[in-house]
Structure 1
Amino acid sequence: MNVLFIVPYPVGRAASQRFRVEQFLPYLQATGISYKLVPFWSRDTFAILYKGGNILRKIAGTLQGFLQRVALVLQLQQYDYIFIHREATPVGPPWFEWLAAKVFKVKLIFDFDDAIWLENTSAENQKASTYKQHHKIAKVCTWGYKISAGNRYLQEYAQQFNEQSVYLPTTINLAKYNRLKNQETERVVIGWIGSHSTLPYLKLIEPVLQQLEQQYTFDFVVIADREPDLTLKSLKFVRWREEVEVENLLQLNIGVMPLPETEWAKGKCAFKALQYMALGIPAVVSAVGANIAAVPHGNVGYTCTTERDWYKSLERLLLNIELRSRMGADGREWVAEKYSLTTHQHTFLNLFN
């Protein structure tokens, strides 16, 4: 069997791709299935993609990605399956997906972990969003042999167009997340990990953190690819790097994941919370979408609706080391049972049956 993986990002550069595609590849190889993985963006283009300026280089990198996709068309019949993570091209109609499924008749597996049929416009992607053609997701779901959806909300959407829509949560490799946070630290650290696209969500809990700062001493650590715009005396910024991701997360005693109550946020797969819990770090999250199922309230962390919920939950954990330790240990067991890589490897491999 031969599989072509069509992915947006260079290897090792984006969380969704790392945890939904790349970490499963050794299991695929172990079964004797060969594969080829082809990103749209080169490493050089991706390095400047979300930075200001470099317009000509970005245009050149985009054209290069399109030309590579065109060249792949003539190779499609070499493959038994084509696995597309999120989209084959970042803008324009789903021409590649249509050719693969309808003309070359290759079995198309479509994987997504966000509500990408909705517009989610930020200052950075506003121009590109005009050309995104978000409605194409419904068509791709219709053409798919199987659909892999990151949470139940996404699965329900896909099932409108394709009965072969499978729930495959974003999973954690516990062989890599192989340590348990020691909560006996001199100073408590509350923290968050993510990318520039979700950094604005931290504004939702900024007033709560400011209020806590008036009563308690702690650090608030943000692990990201860009510095946050927050007015907090407790703020410490750590630039994200894959090779020290686990070590940086182990700085935290408490992990947070605020989300707004929007349709887009319902498509999020609670992955930050899973990262925290896998390392024995209690998670405090917004009671939105997949967060509700991923973080059983009061057992492994807390789900919050109001600012008061956030304040009381964070305060409780700040003041109680035994509670942090117990919830952290229970969270680790919960992830091992429900969200680990080994638990869901067969769900991934069964996509190719």
Structure 2
Amino acid sequence: MPARLQPSEARIKVSAITADAITPSSRFRVRQHTQALADYGIDVTEHLPLIGKNATLPGFLGRARPAAVVPILAPFIAAKVLARVPGVICSYRSDLTWLQRELVNAAYTFEGLLKRPVIFDVDDAIWLTRQFIPRIAGQVDCVIAGNSFIADWFSRHCADVHVIPTAVDTDRFAPASQCRAAEYFAVGWTGSSSTLKYLLALEPALARFLAVAPRAELRVLCDRRPEFRIIPPDRVRYYSWTPQNEASTVAAFDVGLMPLEDVDWSRGKCSFKMLQYMAVGIPTVVSPVGMNQEILRMAEVGIGARSDDDWTQSLLALYADKALGCRMGRAGRLLACERFAVPVVSHQLAALFKSYA
């Protein structure tokens, strides 16, 4: 682990180029490490664009077909590109640049103009949807990959690739109580509306489980209410996501779900939902794909489910056996603290940054 800053050492200045104030990768792969990195003598200045990278046109314009709004969309994209210029300029005030994914979703832009060395931080299989990613990978000095699948791909384009996982704040995401007894059994899922499709695909299996588990309810923490077709509305409790309520809501789950498709895009996922569940000390039922499978092999923290029947039977097993869930929850909490907590990952980042300063 890197040593704390000594009085004679110069501080290292890092420019972090991130997407916006709310994107999870910006929050959890960059922002939550800034204080810990400062303790190691590494001062991170985050440069947010005036127009967020993932911003869409307002109101009905954002829901219209792209072809119908071309006269507005083209200048909007141009404005998003220009919004990146201040961050590029400010990178020259630092010793190195920490680039959190590409600058603009649509195209290669100013990545080659950033102050070197550039450390490119990637937590998704972004090359599957952005053909210009190999160009960026070939220009940067180093790639931080959120999992081994991402690292394997980037190793073809960059000589220096490191696997550093997405950290979970184990102080904020902490167990609510010790295996509490309750009148309900809360099956929980958390995620953005862009990933609701994975939960909705699980509806038949969840409906069968709820039909034979009278004390169970499904809890959904999301920025949009899901529209189920089979599950009765009175068996679903929806929580509108906010940064303030996410940790407490997840901590009130009895089991956490992370369904995925068995495709390369899913293999690029960094299991953050699973890590949040583990941090609050609850068992997980997950698709055993990519990093999910790797974590399941580290300790008995949950159950891997592939078929609808697997999902139903896994939930029934945890519903019937409270001790099993408590044992998995304790193992998950321990693993999260030992391998994926913010201090642990901050140490890894500090060592890497010091090697490039």
Whichever residue aligns with residue 113 of structure 2, its letter is L
Question: What secondary structure does 2:14 align onto?
Answer: strand
Distance 1:327 1:49 in 2: 44
One of 189, 208, 218 as aligned partner of 2:186:
189
Distance 1:273 1:144 in 2: 30
Give the structure 1 partner of residue 66 of structure 2: none
Q: Give unmatched runs, 5+ long, in structure 1.
A: 120-133
Across the aligned residues of Structure 1 and Structure 2, the Cα RMSD in angstroms comes to: 2.3
Q: Give unmatched runs, 5+ long, in structure 2.
A: 1-11, 63-68
Give the structure 1 partner of residue 47 of structure 2: 38
Deviation of residue 276 (structure 1)?
A: 0.5
Deviation of residue 308 (structure 1)?
A: 1.7
Deviation of residue 163 (structure 1)?
A: 2.5
Give the structure 2 partner of residue 53 of structure 1: 61
**TM-score normalised according to structure 1 size:** 0.87
One of 154, 157, 169 as aligned partner of 2:165:
169
Deviation of residue 88 (structure 1)?
A: 1.2
Checking the alignment, whether the CA contact within 8 Å between 2:174 and 2:280 is kept in structure 1 is yes
One of 104, 113, 127 as aligned partner of 1:99:
113
Distance 1:74 1:278 in 2: 39
Whichever residue aligns with residue 82 of structure 2, its letter is L
Whichever residue aligns with residue 121 of structure 2, its letter is D
Distance 1:41 1:259 in 2: 33
Give the structure 1 partner of residue 146 of structure 2: 150
Distance 2:277 2:161 in 1: 28
Question: What secondary structure does 2:238 align onto?
Answer: strand
Give the structure 2 partner of residue 116 of structure 1: 126
Whichever residue aligns with residue 198 of structure 1, its letter is T
Deviation of residue 293 (structure 1)?
A: 1.2
Q: What is the CA deviation profile of residues 207-226 of structure 1, one whole-angstrom value per residue up to 9, with x for unaligned ones?
A: 11111122112110110011
Distance 1:139 1:149 in 2: 16
Deviation of residue 264 (structure 1)?
A: 0.5
Give the structure 1 partner of residue 339 of structure 2: 338
1:208 aligns with 2:219: no
Give the structure 1 partner of residue 17 of structure 2: 6
Give the structure 1 partner of residue 304 of structure 2: 303
1:230 aligns with 2:256: no
Between the aligned residues of both structures, percent identity stands at: 30
Deviation of residue 63 (structure 1)?
A: 4.3
Distance 1:211 1:78 in 2: 58
State the number of aligned residues: 331
Deviation of residue 80 (structure 1)?
A: 1.5
Distance 1:202 1:37 in 2: 33
Give the structure 2 partner of residue 23 of structure 1: 32
Question: What secondary structure does 1:242 align onto?
Answer: coil
Give the structure 2 partner of residue 265 of structure 1: 266
**TM-score normalised according to structure 2 size:** 0.86
Distance 1:62 1:36 in 2: 25
Q: 1:162 to 1:46 in 2, by over 3 A?
A: closer
Distance 2:208 2:117 in 1: 54
Checking the alignment, whether the CA contact within 8 Å between 2:20 and 2:49 is kept in structure 1 is yes
